Amino acid sequence: MKGVVGGLRGGLLAEPLIFEIGGSGRYAPVVCEEEAGGDGEPFPLQEHLLREGVEGLAEVSEPEVVRHFTRLSELNFSVSKNFYPLGSCTMKYNPVVNERLARLRGFSELHPFMHPSFCQGALRLMWELERDLAEIGGMDAVSLQPAAGAHGELAGMKIIRAYHRERGDGRRKVLIPATAHGTNPASSALCGYEVAEIPCGDAGIIEASQLEGRLTEEVAALMVTNPNTLGLFEREICQVAEKIHRCGALIYMDGANLNALMGVAKPGDMGADVVHFNLHKTFSTPHGGGGPGAGPVGVKKELERYLPVPRLIERDGKIVWSEDFPESIGRVRSFYGNFGVMVKAYCYIRTLGGEGLAETSRMAVLNSAYLRKRLEQVLHLPYRAPSLHESVFDDEDLRHLGVSTLDIAKRLLDYGFHAPTIYFPLVVRGAIMVEPTETESKRTLDAFADAVAAVVEEAKTDPDLVKAAPHGTVVGRLDETRAARRPVLRWRAGEADRDR
């Protein structure tokens, strides 16, 4: 059976699905105590409530499970293996000690309804983390509850909505620059807002003059990312903020790019009323192949009462949870947030401290400036203003060769590097967005720049080689059209060979 049996392919393993391994009746360890309550008595539940046993699950032994997932792990690119120049994703090193500490039993085996007297360590950690993030963001209060950046956006925009509603203000519109992440408009829409896009000006930033005519009584907020997704600092942010506030609207700052500014400048000083933080970007917690992350949300004093509940308060020398915030937007999820992720971020912050965080941002910007300097010799740079933690190139110089951003990205995989973020931001056609972070050495940056130069050279001398890339990966370019036209989203018994 082609494609089903595992084996070596170009030095890499192809691995069958777990359901295709093993056989009927095989299963692993007994995870129950030998003796339990009520043995020997009739089973307490009536037969009609029960299923036979779940169909379609794997029946495999422990060695097979461990080998299967270990093999799958080897098919992954990861920060621990090599450099991810992914713009906007801040793929920095994930300190291993933080992983170990998050697994301490006192954290990992702690029940969320544990009596507060017996979880003061966890509460203290969260209490301190809230305050640290508030200090970094220039905010007055923080909720750690949101599980991801977009979840923080949702909470933040709900807060803005609640603020206006309390004023009897039915503002309907949120201004969002064209450079924004797609989650910004989606989160706004989820809060019942209409989105009005601010087009990207020639300089790549929002100019205060662009707001003329857009600032009506309908505007509830401006959502802005600073530095923006072109890596450019929003130079006119203070003037923009003043105008926004004067019309009675608020500023939401997307903290996705905070790695450029930690300890150097505070969103709160720039006029932001609400900020979310991405613990999985800025504060070094691993991305997990797409989560779990955490997206705490911070606010200025006048918005504090709308933060999600429960909130931590101090009472009789103890830290406890309180739901007593009647103006709160409510909960955005169960319990208190992704606590396991918070532990890692807390460790990171305690390791670096205020000065260390600032130095981290300085080094992130230095790395980006250096890499930009090297890459602009071979790639076209559409916005030439100085950028901070990331820079955005495009494929303009390559199009006449029939080579696109996608091809460059795929060919870089053959050189052992992950591709940069591509086709984002949308304002740059064929965007190639590069963010090195502070944890990469000069040697790595040079090697990456050399690889990009080599690929660009190949695009000129042997474009077909680039267009057919990648060549050395376990699979080649995958047919996304096929995947989307007739979606196969699960394995089913008897459909193992779907080659039709």
Partner 1 sequence: MRRVYCPHTEAEVREMLRAIGAPSVEHLFREVPRELVRTGAIRVEGGLSEPELCRRLEALARENAAFGDFPQFVGAGSYPHFIPAAVAEVTARSEFSTAYTPYQPEVSQGTLQASFEFQSIVASLTGMDVANASMYDGASATAEAVLMAHRMAPQRPAVVISSALHPHYLQTVRTYASDLPGMELRTVPYTASGATDLEAAEACLEDACCLVLGYPNFFGVIEDLAAAAALAHEKGAYLVSTTQEALALGLLKSPGELGADVAVGEGQSLGLPMSYGGPGVGFFGCAQKFLRSMPGRVVGETRDERGNRGYVLTLATREQHIRRERATSNICTNHALCALAVAAYVSLLGPRGLREVAARNVRNAHYLAKRLSGIGRLRFFGPFFNEFVLERARAREIWEGMVQMGFMAGVPLGQWFPELDDCLLLCATEVHSREEMEKFARAFEEAAGGGA
Partner 2 sequence: MKIPDELRYTEEHEWVRVADDEATVGITDYAQSELGDVVFVELPKMDRELKRGDQLASVESVKAVSEVYAPVSGRVTAVNTDLVERPELLNQSPYEEGWMARMKLSDPSELGSLMSAAQYAELVAQEKGRK
Least distance to partner 1, CB of residue 181, Å:
8
- Binding at 168: pick from partner 1, partner 2, none (beta carbon under 5-8 Å per type): none
Q: Are strands 219-225 and 173-177 parallel, antiparallel or unpaired?
A: parallel
Q: Which residues of 348-364 are buried (b: 16+ CB within 10 A; e: fewer)?
A: bbeebeeeebbbbbeeb
> How far is 21 from 141, CA to CA, in rounded Å?
51
Q: Total residues contacting partner 2 (rule CB under 8 A)?
A: 4
End-to-end, the C-alpha distance of the chain in Å comes to: 13
**In the bound complex, what is the minimum distance in angstroms from residue 183's beta carbon to partner 2?**
17
Site for partner 2 in 306-325 (CB under 8 A): none
Residue (of 388, 398, 474) closest to 434 by Cα position: 388
Calpha distance 426→428 (Å, rounded):
5
CB atoms within 10 A of CB 199: 10
Give the residue with the Cβ less far from partner 2, 56 or 487. Answer: 487
- C-alpha torsion angle, residues 66, 72, 74, 76 (rounded to 10): -140
In the complex with partner 2, which residue's Cβ is closer, 142 or 428? 428
Least gap, CB of 480 to partner 2 (angstroms): 5
Residue 35 CA to residue 118 CA, distance in Å, equals 30
Is 181 or 344 the residue whose CB approaches partner 2 more closely? Answer: 181
- Is residue 500 near partner 2 by the rule CB under 8 A? no
Tell whether residue 400 is a contact of partner 2 (CB under 8 A): no
Q: Choose among partner 2, partner 1, none what residue 8 binds, the Cβ cut-off being 5 to 8 Å by kind.
A: none
Residue 485 engages partner 2 in binding (rule: CB under 8 A):
yes
Q: How far apart are CA 38 and CA 21, in angstroms?
A: 36
Q: In a 3-state reduction of DSSP, which class is residue 374? A: helix
Pick the piece of the chain touching partner 2 (CB under 8 A) from 139-147, 347-355, 479-487, 492-500: 479-487
Verify binding: residue 489, partner 2, rule CB under 8 A. no
**Nearest-approach distance from CB 152 to partner 1, in angstroms:** 11
Name 14's bridge partners. 7
Q: What crossing angle do the helices spanning 339-375 and 120-137 adopt, rounded to 10°?
A: 30
Which x/- pattern, by CB under 8 A, does the window 197-236 give for partner 2?
A: ----------------------------------------
Residue 32 C-beta: closest distance to partner 1, Å: 4
* Dihedral of the alpha carbons of 283, 286, 288, 289, in degrees to the nearest 10: 90
Sign of CA pseudo-dihedral 442, 364, 186, 244? negative
Q: Which does 160 bind (CB under 5 to 8 A by kind): partner 2, partner 1, none?
A: none
In the complex with partner 1, the residue whose CB is nearer, 99 or 396, is 99
Residue 104's binding partner out of partner 2, partner 1, none, with CB under 5 to 8 Å set by partner kind: partner 1
10 binds, among partner 2, partner 1, none (CB under 5 to 8 A by kind): none
Asked if 480 touches partner 2 (CB under 8 A), the answer is yes
Minimum Å gap between C-beta 420 and partner 1 is 10
Nearer to partner 2, 14 or 195 (CB): 195
State which of residues 51, 111, 481, 494 lies at the interface with partner 2 (CB under 8 A): 481
Give the number of other CB atoms < 10 A from CB of residue 93: 13
The type of residue at 73 is S
User: Rounded to the nearest whole angstrom, what is the least distance from the CB of residue 484 to partner 2 in the complex?
Assistant: 4
Partner from partner 1, partner 2, none binding residue 114, C-beta < 5-8 Å depending on class = partner 1
Shortest Å distance, C-beta 43 to partner 1: 7
**Given the complex with partner 1, which of 213 and 478 has the nearer CB atom?**
478
Tell how strand 219-225 and strand 274-276 pair up.
Answer: unpaired
Rule CB under 8 A: which of 103-122 touch partner 2?
Answer: none
The bridge status of strand 194-198 relative to strand 318-322 is unpaired
Residues 6+ apart with CB under 8 A from 280: 148, 286, 287, 288, 291, 292, 293, 294, 341
Using alpha carbons only, give the angle 390, 367, 369 rounded to the nearest 5 degrees.
60
* Residue ranges in 352-391 that form contacts with partner 2 under rule CB under 8 A: none
Using the minimum distance from each CB to partner 1, give the nearer residue, 365 or 403: 365
Contact map string, positions 21 to 50, toward partner 2, x by CB under 8 A = ------------------------------
CA–CA separation, 316 vs 375, rounded Å?
58
Asked if 484 interacts with partner 2 (CB under 8 A), we say yes
Question: Which of partner 2, partner 1, none is residue 287 near (CB under 5 to 8 Å by kind)?
Answer: partner 1
DSSP 463: H
427 closest CA partner among 389, 397, 383: 383
478 sits near partner 2 (criterion: CB under 8 A): no
When the beta carbons of 103 and 429 are compared against partner 2, the nearer one is 429
Task: Give the type of residue at 492.
Answer: R
Contact 217, 248 (CB under 8 A): yes
Residues of this chain that bind partner 2 (CB under 8 A): 480-481, 484-485
